[in-house]
Amino acid sequence: MTMRTTARFLTAAVLSLGLMAGCATTGDDATSAAEQAIADAKAANADAKALGNEWRDTGKMIKEAEKALADGDAEKATALADQAKKQALDAQAQKAAEDKRLMDLMATTTAGSLSSQSAGAGAGADSYSVVRGDNLWDISGKSDIYGDSYQWPLIYKANRDQIKDPDLIFPGQNLSIDRNASAAEIDAAINHAKTRGAWSVGDVEQSDLDFLAK
C-alpha cells in the first residue's frame, strides 16, 4: 500500500467515524428534546388539572408521546408532547377567561339578573347556520351564542332531531339556540362536556345518549 493510498484510507475512516459520531449526537439530542417536551407537557397539564380544567385528550396524548419515545421515534414523541402542552396551556387560558367572565358578570349585575343570565336569558342569536369548519365547541363559545364553549351540549340537546353525532355537523344546518335553559341544565351540560370521555367522529357515544336521556 502506497503512502498516498494509506492517507486516503485514513481520511475516509476519519470521515466515517465523524459521520457516525454526528448521527449518534443527533439521536441523543432528539431523545433529550423529546424527554424535555414530555416533561413540559406534563407540568402544563398538571397546572390545568389543578385549576379543574384538564382537557380530556391531553393526558392520553402525553402517554402516546411516551410510547413513541419508547419505540424510538423521538420526532413523533416531541410533536405529540408539544401538542399536549399547547392543549394544556389553552385549557389554562380558557379557565382564566371563564373566571374573568364570571367576575365581570357578578360585578355588573344584581343577584336576580345574575340568576337570569346564568339560566341562559339575555340578548343573543336564537339560531345559527353552520358553515364549513364549524363545530359545536366553537359555536357555543361565540359571544352571541353562549360565550362558553363548555355549553355546547345545550345546542346538541336542542337539535337532537338533526344532530346524531355531536362531533359531526354539516354546513347548512340551521341550529336552534336554547335561551331558556335552567341553571341546573347549564351545569349538567358543562359537566358532560368536561367528563364526556373517549369519542370518535361518526359514532354516537353512550355518554352522549345518557346526557340526552336526562
**Does the pLDDT of residue 73 top 80, yes or no?**
yes
Q: What is the pLDDT of residue 110?
A: 44
pLDDT digits (tens, 9 = 90+) for 186-195: 999 998 888 8
Give the pLDDT confidence of 76-91 residue by residue, as tens digits.
999 999 999 998 898 8
Neighbour tally for 31: CB within 10 Å: 15
Q: Which residue has the higher pLDDT, 162 or 199?
A: 162
Q: Provide, for the chain, the percentages of residues in helix, strand and coil under a 3-state DSSP scheme, each rounded to the nearest 5.
A: 65, 5, 30
- Residue pair 169/130 in contact by the 8 Å Cβ criterion: yes
Average pLDDT over the chain reads 79
Looking at the predicted structure, is the pLDDT value of residue 107 above 80?
A: no
Beta strands in the chain (DSSP E): 127-129, 174-176
pLDDT of residue 201: 59
Radius of gyration of the chain from its Cα atoms, rounded to whole angstroms: 26
Residue 135 and residue 167 in contact, taking contact as beta carbons nearer than 8 Å: yes
CB 62 within 8 A of CB 41: yes
200: left (phi over 0), alpha (psi -120 to 50) or beta: beta
Average pLDDT over residues 168-175: 92
In whole angstroms, how far apart are CA 150 and each of 50, 196, 198?
18, 11, 16
- For residue 2, pLDDT beyond 70: no
From the list 162, 179, 168, the residue with the least C-alpha distance to 137 is: 168
More confident residue, 168 or 125: 168
Looking at residue 128, its pLDDT comes to: 93
